[in-house]
Structure 1
Amino acid sequence: MLCRSADLIAEAHASGSGIAAFNVITLEHVQAVADAARRTGQPAIVQISQNAVRHHGGDVMPLAAAAGAAARTGGTRLALHLDHVEDFALLHRTAECGASSVMFDASRLPDAENIAATREAARWAHGQGLFVEAELGEIGGKGSAHTPGVRTDPADAARFVAETGVDALAVAVGSSHAMVSRTAELDLQLIERIREKVPVPLVLHGSSGVPHTTLRAAVKHGMTKINIGTLLNVSFTRAVRATLAQEPEVVDPRRYLGPARDAMTDAVADCLLALTTSDSP
């Protein structure tokens, strides 16, 4: 069923567990998330980024419609979220496209402008009944929240949330976007310190590069929403390459998109189960 992101995130936050959110680009991505959620019995959030919208000619509706249909017919709990939205035009289509939450990203702006833009985005979104996530970005002149080596200051994070009114905050604790190997090391003590200062759920971007055991530790220390995207694309591309290498004469895309979808489904299911697995003996 199509759920509200706020409900899935609140449930995870209250129980100290994690909710996985997967970025999708194609119909096969959407199907993979829905099939994996059904296979594992776990809820998930389907995310469409502004970059994905740009790839589809600037129209969010077709991919959002596919995600909504998959949720309504999939027999599991899925929510739809718009990710890394940088302009107000797309922000204002959030509810229209069926999404119940949005990550508004003004992190490229200077401190004061970032806060002002994010505050305005949150004010508008809350008026529509939407859940709003943001990224700390350039608070304190630290640079992008996901520049290697950058870390979020807990006091800055608390101030940002108080001044913008956002419902969740993505913080920089050691992960990076677009990692293709699981080698990221997270600062678990920093996560705990931020959690103590910040009253809203914390979000980990760049989770594709984080080992499962570290993701579970991050959740235990205070992370709630776990964003995963590149991992699906790695699985997709690897499967396509393998199929075409074995059968170079293939021209029917169904012959390689099918295995690619299956590979992504396995990857998503692995992540969903990893977040529910205990490392205790």
Structure 2
Amino acid sequence: MPLATTGELVTRAAETRSAVAAFNIITLEHVEAVIAGAEATGAPVVLQVSENAVKFRYGRLLPLARAAVAAAERADVPVALHLDHVQSDDLLRQACDAGFSSVMYDAARLSYAENLATTRAAADWAHGQGLWIEAELGQVGGKDGRPPLDAHAPGARTDPDQARDFVAGTEVDALAVAVGSVHAMTTRTAALDHGLLGRLSAALTVPLVLHGSSGVPDDGLVAAVAGGIAKVNVGTALNAAMTGAIRDFLAAHPEAVDSRKYLSVGREAMAREVSRIIGVLGHRQRASSS
């Protein structure tokens, strides 16, 4: 089916108090696994390409993006493409021609004033191109191997009043909020501040996004969706599933050299994890209703 747009999927999720799952992709196996896992549940899904993934692919966005578009157009469920954690304005401006309907512009590392100004400029450009744009306020730590901020450090959590002003000043379409999750966690021990999430949901009219969701236990994800999260980003959980399955396969088959043998095992493991996470989120959007 034709590509869906991130904006329509997230807006529908917010209206039904559910959340659309957004999975970061690195290889073609990631793309195929995410779509297979979504098809198994009948739910729409977002494929995300991060700036770090682009760097891994020799700085070239189009090869992975075009593969994702081709796979998405053949999917039995709605699939959207999202460009994630973009800091480079040059990469931002490649989004439209590569098939993306949305972008997350990441200036959270800057001071509040700089974040607001650069994000507003990015939003003005994105909206002029018909792109839906997400931003981040507060810092969801753990990117690029950096340790997370202490929970009480200035800027570590998103302030509701500041968030209201930030959304008004930037005119972004969605906001990633820092409520206790951390990027790249391999243990599911993150404790979300659901009270803060409730205050953010009450203060804002745009959909809220949870980054670093791989480290959040299932009950925490369920509560986050009930508390107003409409888009749940997942990356590390897929990589852990793939790596673990391949590691086990190679340990059991040390003679193996055909990469299709172990990559297929890794792809199947990721697809199962995609289905499991979508099931946890209790998605109410189904392909038949799109």
For normalisation by structure 2, the TM-score amounts to 0.91
SS of residue paired to 2:119: helix
Aligned residues: 273
Q: In structure 1, what is the equivalent of residue 179 of structure 2?
A: 173
Provide, for residues 77-132 of structure 1, a one-character-per-residue CA deviation record: whole Å limited to 9, x for no partner. 11000000001101001111101000000112222221111000000000011000
The runs of 4+ residues in structure 1 deviating greater than 6 Å are none
Q: In structure 2, what is the equivalent of residue 147 of structure 1?
A: 149
Q: By how many angstroms is 1:250 displaced?
A: 1.2
Distance 2:55 2:19 in 1: 29
Which letter does structure 1 place at the counterpart of 2:149?
T
Measured on the aligned residues, the alpha-carbon RMSD in Å equals: 1.6
**Alignment partner of 1:226 is 2:228:** no
Identical-residue share of aligned pairs (%): 52
What stretches of structure 1 of length at least 5 have no aligned partner? 139-143
SS of residue paired to 1:64: helix
- Kept in 2: contact 1:148–1:176 (CA 8 A): no
Q: In structure 2, what is the equivalent of residue 197 of structure 1?
A: 203
Distance 1:246 1:207 in 2: 31
Provide, for residues 155-211 of structure 1, a one-character-per-residue CA deviation record: whole Å limited to 9, x for no partner. 111111111111000011010000111111111111110011111000000000111
Q: In structure 2, what is the equivalent of residue 125 of structure 1?
A: 126
Distance 2:94 2:17 in 1: 31
SS of residue paired to 1:96: helix
Q: By how many angstroms is 1:151 displaced?
A: 1.5
Distance 1:65 1:277 in 2: 27
Q: By how many angstroms is 1:277 displaced?
A: 7.2
Q: What does residue range 48-67 of structure 1 map to in structure 2 within 5 Å?
A: 48-67=49-68
**Alignment partner of 1:276 is 2:282:** yes
Q: In structure 2, what is the equivalent of residue 25 of structure 1?
A: 26
For normalisation by structure 1, the TM-score amounts to 0.94
Q: By how many angstroms is 1:147 displaced?
A: 2.5
What stretches of structure 2 of length at least 5 have no aligned partner? 140-145, 285-290
**Alignment partner of 1:106 is 2:112:** no
SS of residue paired to 2:97: coil
- Kept in 1: contact 2:182–2:212 (CA 8 A): yes
Which letter does structure 2 place at the counterpart of 1:75?
D
- Kept in 1: contact 2:18–2:283 (CA 8 A): no
